[in-house]
Amino acid sequence: MKAILMIGAMFFAFSFCGLQEKLKQMQSGSNSSSSSNSSKTGGTGEKPKLTAAQQGIMDSATETKWDEQGLSWRLPSGWKKMDVKKESFNYQSPDNAFLLVNISSMSDDFPMDASLKAYYDQAMQMLKQGKYEDVKMIEIDGVPGVEFTEAVPEDKDGIRRHQWIGYRSYLGQKQQVNVMTSTTQPKFERHRDDFTAILYSLKSTK
């Protein structure tokens, strides 16, 4: 089961492959932009809003730190470490729900705002096509990002994801922070509030 979910996560990571050329064009275009148009990430998106149930999950969860990247999340009881490396942070629940985080380092001239908007526009297209059930711009602990939840998969036992992709500057480096929570469709509703609480509990060292 773990292998299936990890393969699904990798597949999804490439689902935006059509976006890569667009981002490269943005990056090359940014080289000729004036400094007033340089990419910044401040003040983008809504602030997280939790239901009472989600707040309760967050309040009772345990802070789990990723010291190397200056990040942390609050994870429900029973979630255990799968693998933590310099650019990946993976935890698992007792019933095979997953938190899969990946850090991608960007060049100094990478246009974070333009890239974030491209992800948002792409996600909105997926929403119109019925592949996502919701999309929003969310700023979590000062880091702007795009949050989206996949619609029910055609395969009744297929993988379903709740994800957030954001951009930040950390230790002088631009980074993409890709936070994915996932499980199979039969377990998704059981973990829906967990996933939201986990995503919104993100703390980022400034």
Q: For residue range 138-153, what is the model confidence (pLDDT) as tens digits?
A: 999 999 999 999 999 9
The answer to whether 87 and 71 are in contact (CB under 8 A) is no
Of residues 43 and 202, the one with the higher pLDDT is: 202
The whole-angstrom separation of Cα 101 and Cα 105 is: 13
Tell me, what's the pLDDT at 1? 54
**Per-residue pLDDT, 206:** 78
pTM for the structure as a whole: 0.82
Going from N- to C-terminal start, the domains of the chain cover: 2-28+51-204
Residue 120 pLDDT > 60, yes or no? yes
- Fold of the domain built from segment(s) 2-28+51-204: Protein Transport Mog1p; Chain A (3.40.1000)
In sequence order, which residues have a C-beta less than 8 Å from that of residue 101 and are 6 or more positions away? 66, 71, 88, 89, 90, 177, 178, 179, 180
